[in-house]
Structure 1
Amino acid sequence: MASAAAQGEEDFDPATHPEVKAMLESLSRQGVSEQELDAAMRAARYRPQVLEAMNHAAERRLRWDEYRDIFIQPERIRQGVAFLDANREALERAERRYGVPPEVVVAILGVETQYGRHKGTHRVLDSLSTLAFHHPTRSGFFRGELAAFLEITLGQGVDPQTLYGSYAGAMGYPQFIPTSYQAYAVDFDGDGLKDLWNDPVDAIGSIANYFSEHGWQRHRPVLVEASGPEALPPDVKFNRTAPPDTTVEALKRVGIEPTAGNLQPQDKVVPLALDFADGHVRYVLGLDNFHVITRYNHSHLYAMAVATLAQRIQTAMDDGV
């Protein structure tokens, strides 16, 4: 594709960009209006700041204590308690249906959008168009997301130019990407809409459904604290987002042991080593539900923030804060 600077007001014009035209032709064969697709892409604009943001995500550059302090704050905990109180019926119904505890669903919303307060300032059409045709390594993935976004909006009679989200094209209360919306969004209040932009009840049901579909284990913990040596054992693979594959027995042989729970020697975990500014390390063992959280965002720091915020919200509820 020609450089964005040269494109000017013709950033993604199907008439001049064959790859855009090919994507739209594929969508039109699926029944989406060719005229509306053409108009949408003519309105899309290249946003270089989106590519810059993709290269500087907090999960890639911060220590655990720095990342933690973004989300684990008294105000966010208080807001989480208030959100849980205000939406208790929907949260308890979601737990009965999907098995996911209220505090975990609320923590996802707390980390993603501060309970709907910050849903994103980037026009989704622009973000996804930029990534779909300019990302150096993942353009194919984002073309799929752009196609899904156009299907969702035009299929529901929504102008794709009007929706805003994250720089990566995530949308609404739970920050679902378009293909996740198609696969996991639910109408949880029975009004005939899967409205993740304005309806916290639909967001609650959709998050719980997402976790259930990715293997959430009802009544099982997310992680277990552990102790370990000052120096990281060199043969242990820490902080992975793959399914648990390291046995408790193997970790004990290198000095890492659970300090809580009743894990058995052959139980498999994800060993985590969380670093702090003073150089010390906190050891944690992620369980199957920890891995499920990383399906929402493929970062061990993200999953730790969600698990920690959920625990703090539950503690505040128990304490009557």
Structure 2
Amino acid sequence: MMQRCFSLLFGMLAWSAAIALEAPAESHPGARAFAAELARDPLAIEQGLSEAAILATLDQARYQQTIIDAISRPAESKAWKDYRPIFLTDKRINDGVAFYRAHADLLQRLEKEFGVPASIIVTIIGVETSYGRITGKYRVLDALTTLAFYYPARAPFFQGELKQLFLLHGTRFPYATTELMGSYAGAMGWGQFMPSSIAKFARDEDSDGKIDLWNSISDICASVANYFTAHGWQTGGPVAVRANVDKNARVITPGSLEPVYPLTQLEEWGYHLGSNPGGAKPDGQTPVTLLQLEGAEGTEFWIVFQNFYVISRYNRSPLYSMAVLQLSEAITRELSKPAQ
């Protein structure tokens, strides 16, 4: 009898824990206030999106502890020497070359239209989803609801993305809010666009009347290119160059990747361009900043330009930007080799 009671008690506790982990989002006290605010948005009014309808959808969202766990241990917390091997692999390089060759006409046309190198477009798709193979296993509604209401560190950001998720649905993005799948952070498609990025930068490049970031290579690639152009990509400009450092170089610790120093200033402080940055040497007044990374062979110093900063608008980690740059360079090198 005692064993049976313990079994029953254990079963009840397990059931209660399961219910807690999958509690509907509306049970969070912030959900009703969120729905009321969203329902007053002019676009929501235009779409006939009522507070009751918003709450009904939020009722279907489920808290996911694995999402909180994932966002609490991002890969960007690694050192560069550990981060680089994750993305600079033979497979990712070779798959990038194959993707480029399969869609060369499209990519070259987009490069001319947007001014963004085709290799950068390809690399973003490779880094984000391994060229469309891994686009995310979470319902976007679950991901954004979990982070909007249960992750205080970035709650305002994710509440904004959750709001935009509701406002996306329409003729140009005709997907049910409850059926969209993506990453643990709510990013979608081959290029992993957040809802706000879809609203601002996604393109219907194939002109079929809708934005398809899962099945239309044209829409996917053009959306990535448009994102970079909108954030200030400089056509033909340098991205980053390894620096030669004087022994008595001034120690500086820039607060961000935004290029705020004239190149001549870094040179006066003891940091010099270590190689030709893909063309003529930039003018001395070209804005740059300094990046320090812990590489496999010791500390690396890089002089980074506006285009490096633009890559960081996709993901704010400097490790991500450097991985994108070096993977794109590796793909370009392979493409330049004579066909076997």
Q: Give TM-score scaled by structure 2 length.
A: 0.85
More RCO (CA 8 Å, sep 6+): 1
CA distance, structure 2, for counterparts of residue 112 and residue 80 of structure 1? 12
Instruction: Please name the residue that 1:252 is paired with.
Output: 267
Indicate the residue corresponding to 2:310 in structure 1. Answer: 292
Distance 1:8 1:204 in 2: 36
* CA 1:168–1:8: 2 relative to 1, 3 Å: closer
Q: Tell me the amino acid that sits aligned with residue 324 of structure 2.
A: V
**Cross-structure match for 1:271:** 290
The runs of at least 4 consecutive aligned structure 1 residues that moved more than 6 Å come to: none
- The match for 1:319 is 337
CA contact (8 A) 1:36 1:154 kept: no
Q: Do the aligned residues in 2 keep the contact of 1:4 with 1:11 (CA within 8 Å)? A: no
**In the aligned structure 2, how far is the partner of 1:196 from the partner of 1:299?**
24
- Alpha-carbon RMSD across the aligned residues, in angstroms, is 2.5
Conservation of the 8 A alpha-carbon contact between 2:63 and 2:142: yes
**Percent of pairs with identical residues:** 36
C-alpha distance in 2, partners of 1:45/1:87? 39
Q: Distance in 1 between matches of 2:108 and 2:182?
A: 28
| Aligned residue in 2 for 1:167 | 184
Query: In 2, are the aligned partners of 1:239 and 1:270 still within 8 Å (CA)?
Result: no
Matches within 5 A, 1:152-163: 152-153=168-169, 156-163=173-180
Partner Cα distance (2:333, 2:21) in 1: 54
- Partner letter of residue 266 of structure 1? Q
Residues 210-244 of structure 1, C-alpha deviation per residue, up to 9 Å, x if partnerless? 1111111111121122112579x563125832x21
Conservation of the 8 A alpha-carbon contact between 2:26 and 2:32: no
Displacement, 1:143?
Answer: 1.2
1:206 to 223, 226, 236: 223
**For structure 1, which segment, 244-253 or 136-145, has the greater mean C-alpha deviation from structure 2 after superposition?**
244-253
* 1:189 to 2:206 alignment: yes
TM-score of the pair, normalised by structure 1: 0.90
- State the SS of the aligned residue for 1:272: strand
Query: Any gaps of 5 or more consecutive residues in structure 2?
Result: 1-16
Alignment of 1:32-111 (within 5 A): 32-34=48-50, 36-59=53-76, 61-111=77-127
Aligned to 1:19: 33
Asked whether 1:129 is paired with 2:139, we answer no
Pairs aligned (count): 315
Residue identity matched to 1:200: I
The answer (yes or no) to whether the contact 1:272–1:285 under 8 Å persists in 2 is yes
Max Rg structure: 2
Q: Which consecutive residues of structure 1, in runs of 5 or more, have no partner in the other structure?
A: none
